[in-house]
Amino acid sequence: MTLQADLFFSFRSPYSYLAVGRYRAMAEEYDVDITLRTVMPIAIRDPDILFTGNPAAPRYIVLDCMRSAQMQGIPLRWPRPDPVVQNFQTREIPKEQPYIFRISRLGQAATRRGKGLAFADEASRVIWSGEVDNWHEGDHLANAAQRAGLDLAELDAEAVSDADALDAEIGENQKALEAAGHWGVPTLVFEGEPFFGQDRVEMAKWRMEQKGLAKR
């Protein structure tokens, strides 16, 4: 029996990047369908929460995601450009966001085609691996989409023509994440149980094995 799970994911989250490839590999090896559910990063959906925590948090997050990447052997560098335009000194987040809305809509459009997990993995590698600058330009995303079995021009056209509906779906994803009992990403939800963080991939697999997870 094919198991079903949802992966709540943000293209601005380094931890999402560190988890998505491992979940994709799991879905390819085991009889589980993992639906990618894109959410907006907290900097966009609730910046007040982002800036009310301990001021040491941003430094710790960078330190921790870098060492997590090193431990797992996954290349990581903070994106150039950052998917969210943000002034880290003044903490200002402009309303004009040329990157995060596009890439998030592309991710949701890929999910509509049943290839969200593959697209998120390929695109996040382009954004986060440090292999390229200006990931949003040239053929970087087009090649990522092609590797996922998708056509970027088709996704981009839909992201423009159906932007409101895609944004509504992304908003529903956020509500579903909260209904499952969490607020952060990456979170895998399996049979109503949330597994938050890139360090919970093996635990999620362990739970699925209790429910009959088998190799394809």
**The residue to which tokens 């990403």 are assigned:** 185
Query: What is the per-residue pLDDT for 163?
Result: 98
- Considering the domain delimited by 3-210, tell me its CATH architecture: 3-Layer(aba) Sandwich (3.40)
- Per residue in 102-145, pLDDT (tens digit) is 999 999 999 999 999 999 999 999 999 999 999 999 999 999 99
Is the alpha carbon torsion for 143, 149, 151, 155 positive or negative? Answer: negative
Q: Are 24 and 118 in contact (CB under 8 A)?
A: yes
Q: Is 92 helix (H, G, I), strand (E, B) or coil?
A: coil
- Per residue in 139-170, pLDDT (tens digit) is 999 999 999 999 999 999 999 999 999 999 99
Q: Which residues pair with 7 in a beta bridge?
A: 36, 188
Q: Which of 66-70, 91-95, 127-131 has the weakest average pLDDT?
A: 91-95
State the amino acid at position 123 in one-letter form: A
What is the mean pLDDT of the segment spanning 7-35?
A: 98
In angstroms, the CA 56 to CA 188 distance is 27
Q: Is 9 helix (H, G, I), strand (E, B) or coil?
A: strand
Q: What is the DSSP string of 33-65?
A: EEEEEE---HHHH-HHHHTSS-TTHHHHHHHHH
Query: What is the per-residue pLDDT for 63?
Result: 94
Q: How confident is the model at residue 49 (pLDDT cuts 50, 70, 90)?
A: low
- Calculate what percentage of the chain has a pLDDT beyond 70: 97
Q: Is the pLDDT of residue 37 over 90?
A: yes
Query: What is the per-residue pLDDT for 92?
Result: 82
Q: Is the pLDDT of residue 51 over 80?
A: no
Please report, for the chain, the start and end positions of each structural domain, with discontinuous segments joined by +.
Answer: 3-210
Q: Are 1 and 30 in contact (CB under 8 A)?
A: no
Q: What pTM was estimated for this model as a whole?
A: 0.95
